[in-house]
Structure 1
Amino acid sequence: MIAEIQVLPRPLGTAESRYAHVDAAIAAITASGLSYEVGAMGTTFEGTPDQVWALLRTVHEATLAAGADGCLSVIKVSAGAEDDGPSVQDLVGKHR
């Protein structure tokens, strides 16, 4: 299964670190051990359905735990009916 999450915290960060809350979200993804890619507008990662769904919640909650007053998370999820669905490589490999 593959997912992309974009966190939109309020505020984005702190006076000392402009993107502190977003950085906390990315740190949660890094700590998961799953394969991921950070993009300009979101982060894509892949794993089993149980791993992906749990990590989406963890990322959203990590943003709030970092001190955001609120957070809107925009997610995209892709999986096949008979298998785990496409990988990042399947979707963008030919464009690299």
Structure 2
Amino acid sequence: MLIHVHVGPSPLGDERGTYEHVEAAIRVIEASGLEFEVGALGTTVQGPADRLWPLMRELHEATLSSGAEKVMTHVRLFQSREDVVEASMSDLAARITH
């Protein structure tokens, strides 16, 4: 399964940094041990569905726990019936020509 997630905290950060609340969500992803790629408009994570579903909630809650007053989390999902992604994120990215 692949998820592309964007947390939209309000406010974005605090005295610790402009993007502290977003970075709190990214730290949760890093700690998961799953393959991920941070982009300008969100983060893509690859792994089994039974790990990614709870991870989405953890990301949302980590943003609030870091001090955000509100958060809107946007998620896009890709999953095959067998819960197998045939290529890694880096393989998929390599197929894109600019």
Q: TM-score, with normalisation over the residues of structure 1? A: 0.91
| Rounded Cα–Cα distance in structure 2 between residues aligned with 1:85 and 1:33 | 17
**2:80 paired with 1:74:** no
Unaligned runs of 5+ in 1: none
| Rounded Cα–Cα distance in structure 1 between residues aligned with 2:25 and 2:37 | 13
Q: Residue deviations 1:66-90, cap 9 Å, x none?
A: 0000100000010012342354245
Matches within 5 A, 1:1-96: 1-86=1-86, 87-95=88-96
Asked if the contact 1:49–1:84 (Cα under 8 Å) also holds between the matched residues in 2, the reply is no
Over the residues paired in the alignment, what is the CA RMSD in angstroms? Answer: 1.5
Moved beyond 4 Å, runs of 4+: none
Give the 3-state SS of the residue equivalent to 2:95 in structure 1.
helix
Unaligned runs of 5+ in 2: none
| Rounded Cα–Cα distance in structure 2 between residues aligned with 1:27 and 1:83 | 25
Q: TM-score, with normalisation over the residues of structure 2? A: 0.89
What fraction of aligned residue pairs are identical, expressed as a percent? 43
